[in-house]
Amino acid sequence: MTGEPRDEDARVTGEPRDEDARVTGEPRDEDARVTGEPTARERQADLRAPLAQHRRYVRVRAVASRVVLVIALLTLLTLVRHRPWRGVTVLDPVAWDVDHNVARPTLVLAGICLLIAARGLRRGHRLAWAATVGLLGASSVLHLAHRLSVVPTVVLLAAVVWLATQRRAFPVLPSRRDVRRGALVTLAGLVTVGGIVAAFAIATDDNPVRRLHLHRISAGLTAGFGAVFIVVLLWSLTSPRRPVRLPPAAHLAERERARALVRAYGSGTLDYFALRDDKDWFFVGRSVVAYTVRGGVCLVSPDPIGPVVERADVWVEFCDFAATYGWSLAVLGASADWLPVYEAAGLRSVYLGSEAIVDGPSLDLADHQHKGLRNAANRVARAGYTTQVLAPSAVDDETRRQILEVATQSRRGEAERGFSMTLSRLLDPADEDDLLLSVTRSPEGRVDAFCQWTPCEGGWSLDVMRRRLDAGKLPNGLMEATVVRTVEEVVSRGGRRVGLNFAVMREVLQGETGSAWDPVVRPVLQRLSEQTQMSSLAAFNEKFSPEWVPRYVVLDAAEYVATQAVVMAGAEGIGELPVIGRFLAARPRG
């Protein structure tokens, strides 16, 4: 195995295959040798170089965490059986040699503390690193002093020396809030334990049996409450740090700074959604990364926006930024162009679905394949409906009121759902110079359907599509007719691309991946599709003969996947459908 990408691997990693190079114009390896341009292998090496340090630190944290986790489990197993792992457990020789009654609670507490330290090491916490170095160092000395166990001592000392040299891999320092909270927990623990001791001291009398009985109860309660407070303290100090929240005015100013970069460099159909109000922004040079932090997960969407030449540097700095807070990284709705950068940083990509992109000039209703669209547009027109495409600034007050009314009827809940493919606001004055509205009215002039569109390179991308629900029977194909009219308007303005809905796991459902797992996965997805209408959403988009552009979820290490899945579901606004959120719950509009 050479590790070089095969053609089928290139579909996942985003590296150019030879046949792709013929289309994209990128030099193939044999051509590059003649022209002197860098080969795909050299380009990948150039990409990986800036991220090498980050990957090394991630590996250090993973190895340290797993080693400490093993030692913690062995320490707890000592309570069941001492051998054969007695030589590499923490505090085992001292605990058992000093007092048999003290040994068990001591080893339990040491094991639990090591479990929490392993968690902190994985997140990159400096306190967990220092505590682990100190505890393992002390344990190695105690092993040698009490049992003359040379081999375990050497092994533990080697681990301590290695870990001590990796200080830079653990950059997370506790915030002032964490320190204050830790101080309060410590104070509460001391007061509680002191109160227990004092209460039992007052309750004792001259009866020696009663005194002994109360002493045992006092000792047990003191040890129990002390252990609880220690665990709570360590857990709070090794948790991911909370992000710094800006005041509303400062947050708005950063959004407008991000807007300038989106206008200058935004090209993808999801780029404008970087300006959602529930996102924060990280700036590097002429680039911006839109993200939010929930439950210790830093969720990025869309891909970072900026010049192509800054991609590797932007992601290096953002990874370092996330590492200083102890956050895991995930990207929702990633494009294939960015996958090499993410994978060079040690992240893993998983196909999520495909986005439908319509080529406006190619959408000819006279074609036989577009018969359904043609019939829908004609049926809606015969019913007296008209569609107007205009800027939000041109919307009068009555039309604005009706649009907001229709939007409230159609959505579930009080807010627009979605994190990666929805802007989350309608008719906002800050967006009026950027967005486009398609408003479809009944013969009486009532707004029965509308779409809001965000700009992208060469056209527009669907943000919100809504229809009225309180007007009785509306003509079939109302939304299809609205989209058709929008495409015609985009083409007349010189545009070409119109981004539509997202079809979850489309390639798997259509059997286009060629994976050996397809026969196993496809029946499960088909059954799920019956409940969530995944296939019918794809069928709705197929009416427009779109180009299907794959989108991916980019995930961190395996131990973070479950948490990241929950966070993504929450961000997309669907609690009952994990991982793929609102995309699974979406229904075809029309």
What DSSP string describes 405-463?
Answer: HHHHHHSSSSS---SSS--S-SS-GGGTTT-EEEEEE-TTS-EEEEEEEEEETTEEEEE
Crossing angle, helix 126-147 and helix 40-77, to 10 degrees?
50
Q: How confident is the model at residue 508 (pLDDT cuts 50, 70, 90)?
A: low
Per-residue pLDDT tens digits for 479-500: 899 999 999 999 999 999 999 8
Per-residue pLDDT tens digits for 329-362: 999 999 999 999 999 888 999 888 888 899 989 8
Which sign, positive or negative, has the C-alpha torsion 392, 394, 397, 398? negative
Q: Between the CA atoms of 480, 486, 489 and 493, what dihedral angle is there, to the nearest 10 degrees?
A: -140
- Please tell me what DSSP assigns to residue 298: E
Is 192:232 a contact under the CB 8 Å cutoff? no
Position 113: which residue type?
C
In percent, how much of the chain has pLDDT > 90? 27
Q: Which pLDDT score is estimated for 45?
A: 55
Q: Which pLDDT score is estimated for 339?
A: 93
Query: Could you tell me which residues are beta bridge partners of residue 437?
Result: 390, 452
Quick check: 200 pLDDT over 80? no
Quick check: 475 pLDDT over 90? no
Quick check: 1 pLDDT over 70? no
Query: Could you tell me which residues are beta bridge partners of residue 100?
Result: none
Distance CA 92, CA 238 (A): 25
- What's the predicted TM-score (pTM) here? 0.77
Distance CA 302, CA 295 (A): 19
Distance CA 318, CA 312 (A): 10
Distance CA 492, CA 546 (A): 19
Cβ contacts of residue 473 below 8 Å, gap of 6+?
none
Q: Which pLDDT score is estimated for 467?
A: 87
Q: Which pLDDT score is estimated for 173?
A: 86
Angle at 584 between CA 534 and CA 379, to 5 degrees: 50
How is the beta sheet containing 459-467 ordered, strand by strand? Answer: 280-284, 287-294, 297-300, 328-334, 547-555, 348-359, 497-504, 459-467, 447-456, 436-441, 386-390
Is 423:273 a contact under the CB 8 Å cutoff? yes
Averaged confidence pLDDT in the chain: 77
What six digits make up the tokens of 493? 């303005």
Q: Which pLDDT score is estimated for 79?
A: 66
Which of these, 316, 327, 321, lies nearest to 52 by C-alpha position? 316
**Most confident residue range from 105-109, 242-246, 326-330:** 326-330
More confident residue, 36 or 375: 375
Is 490:348 a contact under the CB 8 Å cutoff? no
Is 37:44 a contact under the CB 8 Å cutoff? no
Per-residue pLDDT tens digits for 20-55: 333 333 444 444 444 445 554 555 555 667 788 888
Ranking 23-32, 137-146, 241-250, 360-369 by mean pLDDT, the lowest is 23-32
More confident residue, 44 or 446: 446
Quick check: 461 pLDDT over 90? yes
Quick check: 3 pLDDT over 70? no
More confident residue, 446 or 193: 446
Per-residue pLDDT tens digits for 291-334: 999 989 999 999 999 999 899 889 999 999 999 999 999 999 99
Phi, psi (rounded to 5 degrees) for 352: -105, -40
Per-residue pLDDT tens digits for 545-567: 888 888 999 999 888 888 888 88
Q: Which pLDDT score is estimated for 221?
A: 64
Is 350:339 a contact under the CB 8 Å cutoff? no
- 92: burial class by Cβ within 10 Å (0-12, 13-18, 19+)? buried
Q: Which pLDDT score is estimated for 135?
A: 81
Q: Which pLDDT score is estimated for 512?
A: 56
DSSP SS3 for 3: coil
What six digits make up the tokens of 110? 């040491």
Distance CA 458, CA 267 (A): 8
Is 480:377 a contact under the CB 8 Å cutoff? yes
Q: Which pLDDT score is estimated for 539?
A: 73
Quick check: 157 pLDDT over 70? yes
Distance CA 292, CA 527 (A): 33
Quick check: 110 pLDDT over 80? no
Q: Which pLDDT score is estimated for 534?
A: 55
Cβ contacts of residue 516 below 8 Å, gap of 6+?
none
More confident residue, 27 or 530: 530
Ranking 91-105, 155-169, 296-310 by mean pLDDT, the lowest is 91-105
Q: Which pLDDT score is estimated for 46?
A: 59
More confident residue, 535 or 26: 535
Q: Which pLDDT score is estimated for 252?
A: 94
Q: Which pLDDT score is estimated for 385?
A: 92
Q: What is the largest CA-CA distance in the chain?
A: 104
Distance CA 86, CA 286 (A): 56
Cβ contacts of residue 132 below 8 Å, gap of 6+?
64, 68, 114, 117, 121, 163
More confident residue, 361 or 137: 361
In total, the chain counts a number of residues equal to: 590
Is 302:420 a contact under the CB 8 Å cutoff? yes
Q: How confident is the model at residue 523 (pLDDT cuts 50, 70, 90)?
A: low
- 552: burial class by Cβ within 10 Å (0-12, 13-18, 19+)? buried
Instruction: Give mean pLDDT, residues 258-282.
Output: 93
For tokens 């994990």, the residue is 578
Ranking 201-210, 376-385, 481-490 by mean pLDDT, the lowest is 201-210
Q: Which pLDDT score is estimated for 481?
A: 92
Query: Could you tell me which residues are beta bridge partners of residue 502?
Result: 355
In percent, how much of the chain has pLDDT > 70? 68
Q: Which pLDDT score is estimated for 26?
A: 43
Distance CA 503, CA 550 (A): 9
Query: DSSP strand E in 338-405: where?
Result: 348-359, 386-390
Ranking 28-32, 126-130, 242-246, 264-268 by mean pLDDT, the lowest is 28-32
Distance CA 359, CA 547 (A): 8
Domains and CATH numbers, the chain: 55-237 (no CATH), 354-551 (3.40.630.30)
Instruction: Give mean pLDDT, residues 429-443.
Output: 90
